[in-house]
Amino acid sequence: MRATSPLTLGVSAPAHSSPDPAKPTQVQPRSGTPGFSDQAGGAAGRPHATLHAPWRLEYLESMGEQEKAAAKAGGTGGAADGPPGSGASFLLDYWRDPAADEKNHVVVRTAEGIILLNAFPYASGHLMVALGEPRPTLLDYTPAQRAVLWRLVDCAADLVTRTLEPQGINIGVNQGRAAGAGVPGHLHVHLVPRWGGDTNFITVVGQVRIIPASLETMADRYRATWAKIRDRWA
């Protein structure tokens, strides 16, 4: 689950739109499946507008590469084992390549695991926590390993709280593909900072989320906080 991807918004122009190019058409939401259109146009045969989301291409292509790598290895996709750079698990690849931590938005690395930004966040500052050793379920880890994982989660929660001062934090695990895990072979924990009203009309009606900060900016803020609190988590 470098796993959480942006949503798209399907829209259509009203049938009575003016053909005058000097008068821009007012685009209104249409009913039906967000992002869906056919050759007949939008709802009730009306033409549809397009919302471009080019940043999704990297996400979609990476999913395809993971499936191809798993197929070559005789797996079923989402496997968490394989050589570095194989695409079998980006978390495992990141763990094995500490020199690329800045590029991969890893903000904390310990002897047992990593804390990193989700590349396709639900909200700005969305963190992921994973141990370096890939296992598909919590109980596949030893009690000692689970203790290390949850201490990393505590550390990540401290980072979120000190850096962003959110009004709440969603902390959770998607264990297994049916539960929504994007990388089912490598268990990881999500921490999503929340504020009252962060799910507003554009999310509910338009099915679009606004991510106001870039990954680079957020990573810099988290690293600055980590430099101040590193000793207490040593």
* Catalytic residue IDs: 188
Q: Are 40 and 72 in contact (CB under 8 A)?
A: no
E strands present in the chain: 11-12, 28-29, 48-49, 106-109, 113-117, 127-131, 168-173, 189-194
Q: How many helices (H) and strands (E) does the chain have?
A: 5, 8
User: Quick one: DSSP state of residue 25?
Assistant: P
Q: Are 162 and 229 in contact (CB under 8 A)?
A: yes
Residue whose pair of structure tokens reads 């045969």 in the numeric block = 45
CB atoms within 10 A of CB 82: 20
Residue whose pair of structure tokens reads 């539960």 in the numeric block = 179
